[in-house]
Structure 1
Amino acid sequence: MKLKFLFLIYCSIQPSSPSPNPTKIECNFSISKYSFWLLGNIYRCQVKNDPQIYSPMTTQSLDIIGTHIDKNINDNVIGFHAASKSIQFFPHGIDKHLPNLKMIEIYDCNLKQILKSDLKPFAQLVRLQLDNNDIDMLEEDLFVNNSNLAFVSLDNNKIFFISADIFDNLIKLVHLSLKANNCVDMIAVNNKTAVTEIIKHVKDQCTDMDFNVISQKFNNLENDVKKFKFQSFLAFYNNLEKFEDEFKVSRFAEVLWFRERLDCLKDWKVETFWTLKSMVDAVGQKLQEFEGKSEKKFKEIEKSLESRLMARIQEVEGKIEDILNET
């Protein structure tokens, strides 16, 4: 019954409903103690909390909180720095709070991908550092909106494919570090000629997908999918019991959160269907057990009533027989 109720709610939600509870990123705002090459000492946000971004929700809302220093405001923030957090997908909406970022650092966060749409809002971006993550591919036109990039570092990822023309519009690029990746292990430090050599290597070694590499990639992806599906389903399942009550008190944010979680599962809807079906089957089995017990109880009552009825019939029949004998 709850699943049916949930499905009806999901199908009836309109886009005008209030937004889901936003993901909060708590910033420790400070002026950097050391000078960044190309940028100097910058005013930046260092992420304090763990935002735990486990899904690629493009509509996910975001709040940036924290106390500014020296009368600074969000517009003064030049750098965004997150290290050793759970950020598997790029947090959308940063630009709405921090519109003037020139440096983005997300490293050791298990970041799985970086997309053109992720970087599109940051036309002023000069430094991008995404080291020690799980990125395996760099898509075509990734940096098409970021022509000011001069420093790009993607060390210690799992990159096996890079689109051939990905760096062509980065005429200011003088630092390119792609150390410890599957198809490239090179670095150029403030050296345009060395950058050109890395790009040549990338076009030679990283633009063809070897069959064995692809096979391994899909094996890894399958495991990632299973893990993500399990995490999403647990969140979905664990909240089923409270879902109806929260809806009754107009917790529309929670409702929309469920909707987005379901959207995240759409690529694996078959597996999700069977998981839900197993839940329904389990409930059905419980109902059958209940009905079985009820049927047994009914038969016991029926047998008791039948016995009483037969006794009554025999009593009446005896009286009739006595009357007949008297006549």
Structure 2
Amino acid sequence: MLNVFLFPALAILALLVLFSGIFIVKQQTAAVIERFGRFTSIRNSGLQLKIPLIDRVAGRINLKVQQLDVMVETKTKDNVFVKLKISVQFQVIKTNVYDAFYKLESPSDQITAYVFDVVRAEVPKMKLDDVFERKDDIAIAVNRELNESMEDYGYDIIKTLVTDIDPDVQVKSAMNRINAAEREKVAAEYDAEADRIRIVAKARAEAESKRLQGQGIADQRREIARGLEESVDVLNNVGINSQEASALIVVTQHYDTLQAIGEETNSNLILLPNSPQAGSDMLNNMVASFTASNQIGEAMKKQNLKNKKDQPGNNDSE
């Protein structure tokens, strides 16, 4: 009766022991096998065998590319506290799985310590603006230091990136105000330049308008003078002298003006004087002023000639 239960139990135990010697290693993973606590071999992906109860899987190493994000707070050369986010991409070297498993207890802590050391050595040499402009230099320095140090532990540093630079809140606010002030200054300069261009263009347009207006007035007066000259010639041909012709033209223009004013129903203009003698008086005054002007001009010419003769050095006998 005992054998009936013993043999099945032994068979089941034997199967369990046999199956314990079979294990699976996933893709991009390496398994470290130890025998009685001593390293034996490294097994790669696939179905693997080990001696039951003697060999054991001491651990598994991830061979994929991994990323570690490290936040470092440090101070710049101009005494500004800033936080930098350093992203380190690393991978276990397949030929150095033994070193990666046995030489380093915590690769993340080791990488973090090196990142802190390099960043706090490089950033204090730079001003805040330089940190933003030369973040690639910081990343290169971190990558170089990590490669030199972590290679001995079986790790390959693939890429190091400075993914974020975060200054103190007050500093960030001050930088934003400076940028806003700079933009307002540029906008004001553009507005002033636009106003200047508008003023210059308006002045040029007004100057051109005045020039054309003056030219138009000159042409108008030239044509009026030409018309008056032709009118005087026509009147002279019928026996009317120049003075009588001028009086007739003035009187005619006077009454034409009165007629034009009368045609404007909404006009408030009052023409003074408006008597029938106004045109004749106007002509007489003009003739008198022209005569007086000519007399004054002749007197001045005689006086200037006399002064020249009276000057020393002028000898009429010569």
Flag whether TM exceeds 0.5 (same fold): no
Structure (1/2) with the larger strand percentage? 2
Structure (1/2) with the larger helix percentage? 2
**Class of the TM-score when normalised by the shorter of the 2 chains:** under 0.3
